[in-house]
Structure 1
Amino acid sequence: MDNLTHSLVGALIGQTGLKRRTGLAMPALIFGANLPDIDAGCVVHGLESLAMRRGLTHGPIAWVVLPLLLAAFIWWFDRWQAKRGTRPESRLPVRFGWLWLLATLACLSHPALDWLNSYGIRLFEPFSQRWFYGDALFIVDVWLWATLGLTLAWSLWREKRDVATWRRPALAGLAAALAYINFNLVLTESARAATPQSQAIAVPVPIRFWERDLIVDVDGAVYMGKGLQRWSLDGGLARDVELLTQRPACLHPMQLPQFAPDNADLAAFLFWSRSPYIDRIERDGKIIDLLKDARFSGRASGQFSIAIPVPTEAETCYFE
């Protein structure tokens, strides 16, 4: 999920009352909820970063190491301020044990949320490179923003006015978010069940959370390919398959590395890709073959694509 969502979850956890357990609890929760995304710096490697993101910093080793490092830094920062005479008098005593526990709780919320979208997460890296997908929420969910943001603001407002029940809005916000997530998990399974293809991938749609794009394999007498169907809660399967690509069985995208074994971008893209397909386009008067992923066929397709060499011997049977 996006970092605003992670931050709101960390802040709401604090507003349930846990922020009163130790000084600097809120920084531990908010930074902890975002900490696994330190791997975002790998974007300097371009397309190769697709194979680096949501892996090691989101896996079991990071669940232990990252909260410990964060708690140690915050504890040191409090001591450093005290030595300089700049530590706020109103700050609660900083307890390392509570800092570590809260940072761990927040850090664990991050992979749990990241699992919910179709981008995926390597949950057990470095012990396994398998990708996991929840397919329940779009990576930026405005409804989740509204739920978390409004209940956080309500809780802070009540706390400022010293209302005894200031924790309740935060608890209600977290409960509502969990209910919304579970409802979307059910919608995803309902969308998959609506298509005869058991391996269909259900991709959440921005804003219209009650709809899913279904990525399906399209079989024909000669061609196989990738296509999209739209499913909605109120209308079921709303349209026939929109063909994204068509190909004969002579070449599959996963076979491309044998023609370009030293292409690091290609290897990274295929490692990350869940539903790869080849698209032939014309750009500046030239014919270009692009490797794409059906999850991002419409949204950000330019960002998630790579120009690839289609071998000469496969060209005649791949395109007509």
Structure 2
Amino acid sequence: MDNLCHTLVGAALAQSGLKKRSPLGTATLLIAANLPDLDVISLAWGNTAGLAFRRGWTHGVLALSLSPFLLAAAMVGFDRVGKRGGARFWPLVGLSAIGVGSHPLLDLLNTYGVRWLMPFSNRWYYGDTLFIVDIWVWLLLGAGVLMSMRRERYGGSDWRLPARAALGAATAYTMGMFMVGRLAVAQVRFELNAAGVSTPRVLASPIPVTPIDRDVVVDEGEGYLVGSIRVGGNFVPGSHWPKRAPSTDMDDPAVSMAASTPAAATFLWWARYPSYIVDRRGNTTVVHFIDLRYARSPESSFGTLSVPISSAQLALSRPH
């Protein structure tokens, strides 16, 4: 999820009453809720390098186990340097663990996924439940936090209730979105299987703003079918896309050569539904790799990688 969502979760947890466990409780929860995203520094080495590193080490069980202690120690140290006094290590460890733990749970909910078991396993886990930027979660949590803070400011004894209600409402909304996604997948499978179409994998991705609509990618074995569905309605098929696989590389040496580059190897490892478009212009062939989770065009700002291959490179790759 986006960092505003993580921050609002941290704020709602604080306003639910957890901040009273120790001085600096609110700050600890806000920092902890965003702490795993320290891996954003990997983008300094390029977007493709970021794909290989993000939602891995800092989101895995080892970092999740150690970071609460490190953050709590840092907060106690900050408290002592500022001569504030009162910050307690073990309560802050507990708050840090709650905040840090909330982060990969939220990240699990979208189609990007998270690598829970890093560094012991590089496997991705996907929830396919919420769009990465969900304004309804923002509104629910934001309203709860603001109402809670207002009541607290004016001395209301029940100031914790709005934040707790917001957390409950956001949880209920998420559960509803999970069911919407599963119903969409089941409907697509039913319709395509009835038509004799194989459906080894079906992705029903949440889209912005509209909770009952899903963007669909169907793995048909030899290729992909994309389309859309609204819960309660029928699957609306769109276009067919080729599947990037070793068998397709045999048909086009440009695809094989492009796929063997380090950047493409990383991108294809990360992609769940990798397809491609081959663009031949003059002496250069450009292979556009596309992850159909996020893109349908090489011009998309995310989920694509373009690899140029010169005619000279292709000539060298041909057997003599």
- Normalising by structure 1, we get a TM-score of 0.86
SS in 1 for 2:219: strand
Q: Is the 8 A contact 1:117 1:139 kept in 2?
A: yes
Q: What one-letter code is carried by the residue in structure 1 that aligns with 2:49?
A: E
Q: Is the 8 A contact 1:292 1:301 kept in 2?
A: no
Q: Is the 8 A contact 2:148 2:161 kept in 1?
A: yes
Q: What one-letter code is carried by the residue in structure 1 that aligns with 2:101?
A: L
* Closer, same or farther: CA 96–32 of 1 in aligned 2, 3 Å: same
Q: Is the 8 A contact 1:49 1:268 kept in 2?
A: no
Distance 2:281 2:27 in 1: 48
Which of these residues, 293, 296, 318, is aligned with residue 295 of structure 1? 293
Which of these residues, 136, 140, 145, is aligned with residue 147 of structure 1? 140
Percent identity (aligned): 36
Q: Is the 8 A contact 1:257 1:266 kept in 2?
A: no
Alignment gaps of 5+ in structure 2: 190-198, 316-320
SS in 2 for 1:93: coil
Distance 1:127 1:114 in 2: 19
Distance 1:202 1:312 in 2: 38
1:41 corresponding residue in structure 2? 41
Q: Is the 8 A contact 2:16 2:161 kept in 1?
A: yes
* 2:81 maps to 1:80: yes
* Closer, same or farther: CA 54–233 of 1 in aligned 2, 3 Å: same
Please provide the CA RMSD for this pair: 2.8
Q: Is the 8 A contact 1:282 1:288 kept in 2?
A: yes
Pick which of 65-74 and 257-266 moved more.
257-266
Q: Deviations over 1:91-125 (max 9, x none)?
A: x7211111111011100000000000001111111
Pick which of 205-214 and 261-270 moved more.
261-270
- Normalising by structure 2, we get a TM-score of 0.86
Higher relative contact order (CA 8 A, sep 6+): 1
Aligned residues between the structures: 300
* Closer, same or farther: CA 293–280 of 1 in aligned 2, 3 Å: same
Deviation at 1:301, TM superposition (A): 2.7
Distance 2:148 2:180 in 1: 30
* Closer, same or farther: CA 4–284 of 1 in aligned 2, 3 Å: farther
* Closer, same or farther: CA 16–295 of 1 in aligned 2, 3 Å: same
SS in 1 for 2:237: coil
Pick which of 265-274 and 194-203 moved more.
194-203
1:16 corresponding residue in structure 2? 16
* Closer, same or farther: CA 4–108 of 1 in aligned 2, 3 Å: same
Deviation at 1:181, TM superposition (A): 0.6
Which of these residues, 209, 214, 226, is aligned with residue 228 of structure 1? 226
1:241 corresponding residue in structure 2? 238
Q: Deviations over 1:194-236 (max 9, x none)?
A: 12225111211111121111101347xxxx4222121112423
SS in 1 for 2:248: coil
